[in-house]
Amino acid sequence: MSSVAFTNIATLVTNASHGDGTLGVLKGATLVVEDGLIAAITQGRPSGVDNEIDCSGKTLLPGFVDSHSHLIFAGDRAEEFSARSRGEKYTAGGIASTVGATRAASDSDLAHNAQRLLNEALSSGTTTIEIKSGYGLTAADESRSIEIAKSFTDETTLLAAHVIPQEYKQDPDAYVDLIINSIIPQSSAKWVDVFCDQGAFTPEQSEAILRAGIAHGMLPRIHANQLTAGKGVEIAVGLGAASADHLSKSTDADIALLASSNTVATLLPGAEFSTHLESNLGRRFLDAGATVAIASDCNPGSSYTTSMPFCIAAAVSLLGFTVEEAVLAATLGGAKALRRDDIGQLAVGKRANLVLLDSPSYIHLAYRPGVNLVHSTYKSGRAVTSWQK
């Protein structure tokens, strides 16, 4: 066993009850890691550890948990972003261009691009990430997308139901049949997802796809209410989905339903920043008592960012979160959206996935937007600079 002690921590965010306030904050504490797990949280200098890291003037908090990303793709859509800056409305139609580029890319190209983005995420404090397919939209391309994603994370999501591909535009139900009868049965993804919204999949198609995934042993999650209000939240709660994501156009009834359920409301500040769909969105969910996560939604069209600190700042500035609510949503909230109880919180026995900030307070994550404050990122107690599973 190897051990390391983080000592003289100016601010330790635990997300646990043994500290102060919403984030369980401790001042001047020491955190001891043994064999990748948190062994003790104490005051003073420990004895008998192999290594010691002086955290004077720094903040230590749980590594960020990014529970919604689309990293298996090729190309970019910078021109689409520029068009939105000129006032053109986002409709998700540009996904087709990414599908074409992804289908044409080699496995090596897709893996290289994902590695590049994951290294970015790691450098800004992300230690756990979910990766979706959804830019292949054929049986072969969706399968290889998941296999590539599995080389980087255990949190893989089949999103064959992202949009109807061009070749099925005249017969959408035939594509739904392909997903249910061919793509899902051959997939090894942990999760199944569907974009239940205008221009994507109807509620009936969405529920059929999710039920097929559940029957195959997958766990459900859903894209809902991004472009228009619909039945996505109702479907998610009815099927016991871990998370309903986007939620920009949710009704009061949707929010109340989520608040009364075990389904996490995952909000995506990067997408709201890019598409300008809804302001002050988070306040509605938080005030209703829903469990809330925030995630990057990293994708080439509507949220091309890997930075969870940016998403924290955007959640505070645009969506009505307090700093504490945003930090909690980016850590413990994301863990709950993935139904993980070993991460997102610093307590004895939890995995030592940590981010050390070169600032005396977590508040600086929102107070100093655009500045990378991450001193070091640790996975299972080990400092890492290149993403590994």
What pLDDT digit, counting tens, does each position of 81-121 carry? 888 788 887 665 688 889 999 999 999 999 999 999 999 99
- Token code pair at residue 343: 């991460």
Strands 354-357 and 59-62: antiparallel
Is 77 known as a binding-site position? yes
Work out whether the CA dihedral 297, 301, 306, 309 comes out positive or negative.
negative
Low-confidence ranges of the chain (pLDDT < 70): 1, 90-93, 277
Is 18 known as a binding-site position? no
**Structure confidence at residue 275 (pLDDT):** 81
Is 198 known as a binding-site position? no
Strand partners, 40: 32
**Structure confidence at residue 117 (pLDDT):** 98
Strand partners, 355: 61, 377
Domain 64-337 CATH class label: alpha beta
Instruction: Report which of 173, 226, 170 is spatially closest to residue 196, judged by C-alpha positions.
Output: 226
**Structure confidence at residue 45 (pLDDT):** 82
Is 162 known as a binding-site position? yes
Is 276 known as a binding-site position? no
**Domain boundaries for CATH 3.20.20.140 within the chain:** 64-337
- What are the strands, taking DSSP E only, across the chain? 3-9, 11-13, 25-26, 29-34, 37-43, 51-54, 59-62, 64-66, 126-129, 131-132, 156-161, 191-196, 219-220, 222-224, 243-246, 264-267, 292-294, 354-357, 374-379, 382-383
**CA-CA distance, 224 to 17, in Å (whole number)?**
33
**CA-CA distance, 276 to 5, in Å (whole number)?**
44
- Tokens 């209703």 appear where? 288
Is 320 known as a binding-site position? no
**Structure confidence at residue 82 (pLDDT):** 85
**CA-CA distance, 389 to 371, in Å (whole number)?**
26
Is 56 known as a binding-site position? no
**Structure confidence at residue 277 (pLDDT):** 66
| Amino acid identity, position 280 | N
**CA dihedral angle for residue 342, residue 348, residue 352, residue 354, rounded to 10 degrees:** 100
Output phi, psi for 200, to 5 deg: -120, -105
**Domain boundaries for CATH 2.30.40.10 within the chain:** 3-63+344-383
Is 302 known as a binding-site position? yes
Q: Is the distance from CB of 49 to CB of 40 less than 8 angstroms?
A: no
DSSP annotation of 384 reads -
Burial zone of 150 (CB within 10 Å; 0-12 exposed, 13-18 middle, 19+ buried): middle
Is 299 known as a binding-site position? yes
Work out whether the CA dihedral 179, 184, 188, 192 comes out positive or negative.
positive
**Structure confidence at residue 140 (pLDDT):** 98
**CA-CA distance, 242 to 126, in Å (whole number)?**
20
Is 8 known as a binding-site position? no
Superfamily of domain 3-63+344-383: Urease, subunit C, domain 1 (2.30.40.10)
**Structure confidence at residue 1 (pLDDT):** 61
Is 226 known as a binding-site position? yes
